[in-house]
Amino acid sequence: MSKEVSEKVHVLIIGSGPAGYTAAIYAARANMKPVLYQGIQPGGQLTITTEVENYPGYPDGIQGPEMMVHFEKQAARMGADIRYGLATKVDFSSQPYKVEIDEEKWIEADAVIISTGASAKWLGIESEQRLNGFGVSACAVCDGFFFRGKEVAIVGAGDTAAEEAMYLAKLCTNVHMIVRRDQMRASKVMQERVINTPNIKIYWDSVTEEIVGENKVESVKIKNTKTNEIQQVPISGFFVAIGHQPNSDIFKGFIDMDETGYIKTIAGTSKTNIEGVFAAGDVQDKHYRQAVTAAGSGCMAALDAERYFSAKGLV
C-alpha cells in the first residue's frame, strides 16, 4: 500500500476519551498544535454511561455523554484540532511517525499519543445491549452506588468479577453471581472472600439466558447448563465482568504490550518502548479504568511529549 503522506503534524492524538481530550488540552496550552482523531466512538466508554457521580468538580453528577462534550469543547477552545476519523494502521519504524486515517490518507507526526481506550467484553445477548445504561453496566465501581440497598447480579469468574462482587456486596442487599463453570478463575484468596461473603450467592455451571425488563432491569433468567433448569431472579442491576479488550491491535509489532494487549509504559510515565510515542488511559491501564485516572494519564502524556520536544529541540 502506498504511504504517500498528505499532511505533517506536530502531535497526533489517537482517541477521544478523558485521556485523549485531556492530552489535547495540555498539548494545546503548550503550543504543540495537537491534532486529535476521535476514533470509532467519540468520547469513549463514557458515552455509553449514564450518570457519573465520582468525577471531581460535578457536585450534582453529570451524564457521561454530556461530560465528554464538555471535555471536547474545552480542548477545542484551547486550540486543539479535533477531527472525525479512525486510525487504521501505523508505521512507527522511523521518524517522523506515520498513521493511516480511515484507510485513506497517511499523516506524519513528530510525536504520537495513543489514547484508544479499551472496550468492555459483553455476553452478546439482545437484552444486554437494549438495557445497557438502564440497569446493565460493565463497571461496578462506576455504577454500583445507584443500586444501594437493592439486589443485583454479576456475571464473571475472574479476579475482576470477584473484586466487583465484593464491592457490590457492601452496597447491595444481595449479589447473585453467575459463574459459567463449576469453579472460578479468580485467585484462591479472592474466591475464598467471595464464597465467605454471606450476601453473595453463586450460581455454578450457569449462564445468563435473558435480562428481563422493558425500560429498566427487573429480573434475570439464569440457566444451569447441567440441568437446563432456568431460575428467574428479581434484580435491579446487572453487571458484566468478563473482561475488557484494549483497542491496541493496530500498534502490534511496534509497541510493547502484555499478553492481553495492554500497552506497556515505563513506570511512572506515559512513555512506550518507542521514543516519542506515548500511551494514556485504558489502553495501558487494566487496574483502575476510571475517567479520573484516564484524564490524569492524558495530562502525563502531554507533559512527557512536551519534555520530549524540548530535549529534541523540536518546540
- Spell out the domain ranges in the chain: 5-119+244-312, 122-240
- pLDDT given for residue 42 in this prediction: 80
Q: State percent of the chain over pLDDT 70.
A: 98
Least confident of 31-35, 48-52, 79-83: 48-52
Average pLDDT over residues 161-190: 94
Q: If one looks up domain 122-240 in CATH, what number appears?
A: 3.50.50.60
Cell of 34: 495537537
- pLDDT given for residue 1 in this prediction: 47
Q: Do domains 5-119+244-312 and 122-240 have the same CATH topology?
A: yes
Interval 247-264: pLDDT, tens: 999 999 999 999 999 999
Q: pLDDT band for 4, please (50, 70, 90 cuts).
A: confident
51-81 CB burial, b ≥16 within 10 A, e <16:
bbeebeeeeeebbbbebbeebbeebbeeebb
- The catalytic residue positions are 139, 142-143
Q: Which residues pair with 113 in a beta bridge?
A: 13, 278
Interval 38-65: pLDDT, tens: 988 787 778 766 678 889 999 999 988 8
Of the options 1.10.645.10, 3.40.50.720, 3.30.70.2860, 3.50.50.60, the CATH number for the domain spanning 5-119+244-312: 3.50.50.60
- pLDDT given for residue 94 in this prediction: 95
- pLDDT given for residue 2 in this prediction: 59
